[in-house]
Amino acid sequence: MNVLLIVIVALALLNVVFVGLVILLRVVNGRRDKRLEARRSTWYPRLITSISDGSNLEDLRRQIDPGERRDVIVIAWNLSRRLRGVDRDRLRNFAAPLLDEITPDLEARSAETRARYLQMVSCLGGDEYEPAIAARLDDPSQLVSLVAARALCQPNGAEWFAEVLARLHRYSSWSHALTSSMLANVGMDAAPQMRAFAADDRHSARDRAAVIRALELLRDAEAADIAAAQLTDDDPDLIAACLRLLAVVGRSEHAVAVRPFLADERFFVRAAAITVLGKLGGASDAGMIAALDHGGSPWVAIRSAYALADLHATDELASMVAEGGLAADAAIETLYGGAA
């Protein structure tokens, strides 16, 4: 009974302490929010005015109290994400000398903290910080490594691109959409390195598929030959990526390499091949596409109808309509823009 009583009293006290902590948390958070808001309302207009009228940023920097340096860095960081060009450069000139305040946090124990401050440093720091950012590509945390890679993959940032490509395998669990757009962000300066990477089968098929997709985003015509050559690979995702690239930048001579995939057992490969032939093929391809058994795949039926429309094969589309069922619906959807 005594034990029960002790536990009850302990729990009652715990509840009181919990309530106190929650209230304390609210008070502390409220004060922090007020402080941040006050600093934001002071520094945001000051920064914007100084950047726009070109006044002396050195003077402005001298007005920062030592205790508010971190907050000013965060304010500048948030502002820099909305700026481009000269304005952003001016903001960087203002903020870069302050970054010593946060660089020790790049070594913080928490990966999230390292990643956060790495973002700030990459956003506000100049070229002199690039080696430090590149060093983070090998951070044990995948998150930090990716933040570093994204920071280095900026337009005209081909200087560090090889380092990023060499570590692409670290980001293989991330979606292709993310890695490809990151790589493509560098622009055509990086295309030669990407082509070489895509052609090198020592790299995994998944990584090559991501690079092929980046080349597709860049609409890199020179990558078409490489993509056509990669069609001999076994990996269906790589094949589909190559076919998608060919649909964008392929030439009619690539159709030969694509035709065998009309018979591929995987519907998404078949559908991608049909799309390519719709862009690159000729009259004979229209006949082949119309004669294809869509095997119950609506995607294949839809792609077939759109490919025939691309080839202006109206007779073949009419035959799809006459066929009835899925093929007919796909053809009607294509012919009438979806209207019944």
Partner 1 sequence: MSGLLNAFEVLILTYFALLNGTYLVLSLNAFRSLRRYMGRLESLQIDDLLASSGGLPISLVVPAYNEAASIVPSVRSLLTLKYADYEIVVVNDGSSDGTLSVLLAAFDLEPVTRVPTSQLAAAPVHAVYQGVRHENLTVIDKANGGKADALNAGLNYSRRALFCAMDADTILEPDALARVARPFLEDASTVAVGGIVRIANGCSVVGGSIDDVRLPKSMLVRFQVLEYLRAFLAARVGWNTLGATLIISGAFGVFRRSVVADAGGFDAATVGEDMELIVRLHRHCRDQGIPYRIEFIPDPVAWTEAPEKIAALGRQRDRWQRGLVQVITRHRRMIGNPKYGVVGTMALPYYVAFEMLGPVVEVVGYAAFVAAVLFGTASVVFVIGFLVLAIFFGTALSIAAVALEELSFRRYRRFSDLLKLLGVALAENFGYRQLSTWWRLRGLVSAMRRDHRWGAMERQGLETPDRDAGPTVTDSPALERSGSR
Which residues are near partner 1 by CB under 8 A? 1, 4-5, 7-8, 11-12, 14-15, 18-19, 21-23, 25-26, 29, 81, 110-116, 118-119, 143, 146-147, 150, 173-178, 181-182, 185, 298-299, 301-302, 326, 329-330, 332-333, 336, 338-340
**Which residue has 């295309």 as its token pair?**
191
Q: DSSP label at 105?
A: G
CA dihedral 225, 226, 232, 238 (to 10 degrees): -120
- For the bound state, the minimum distance from the C-beta of residue 173 to partner 1, rounded and expressed in Å, comes to 5
Considering beta carbons, is residue 66 or 339 the nearer one to partner 1?
A: 339
Any idea how long the chain is? 340
The enclosing H or E element of 273 equals helix 267-280
Considering beta carbons, is residue 67 or 339 the nearer one to partner 1?
A: 339
Considering beta carbons, is residue 147 or 191 the nearer one to partner 1?
A: 147
- For the bound state, the minimum distance from the C-beta of residue 271 to partner 1, rounded and expressed in Å, comes to 11
Q: DSSP label at 190?
A: G
* Cα 172 to Cα 32: distance, rounded to the nearest angstrom: 39
For residue 43, give the amino acid letter: W
- For the bound state, the minimum distance from the C-beta of residue 175 to partner 1, rounded and expressed in Å, comes to 5
Identify which of 203, 205, 213 has the alpha carbon closest to the alpha carbon of residue 183. Answer: 213
- For the bound state, the minimum distance from the C-beta of residue 283 to partner 1, rounded and expressed in Å, comes to 25
For residue 42, give the amino acid letter: T
Considering beta carbons, is residue 48 or 108 the nearer one to partner 1?
A: 108
Instruction: Give yes or no for a contact between 105 and 113, defined as CB atoms under 8 angstroms apart.
Output: yes
* Cα 270 to Cα 243: distance, rounded to the nearest angstrom: 10
Considering beta carbons, is residue 29 or 232 the nearer one to partner 1?
A: 29
Q: How far is CA 131 from each of CA 81, 126, 135, 163, rounded to the nearest angstrom? A: 22, 11, 6, 11
- For the bound state, the minimum distance from the C-beta of residue 246 to partner 1, rounded and expressed in Å, comes to 21
- For the bound state, the minimum distance from the C-beta of residue 267 to partner 1, rounded and expressed in Å, comes to 11
Considering beta carbons, is residue 29 or 52 the nearer one to partner 1?
A: 29
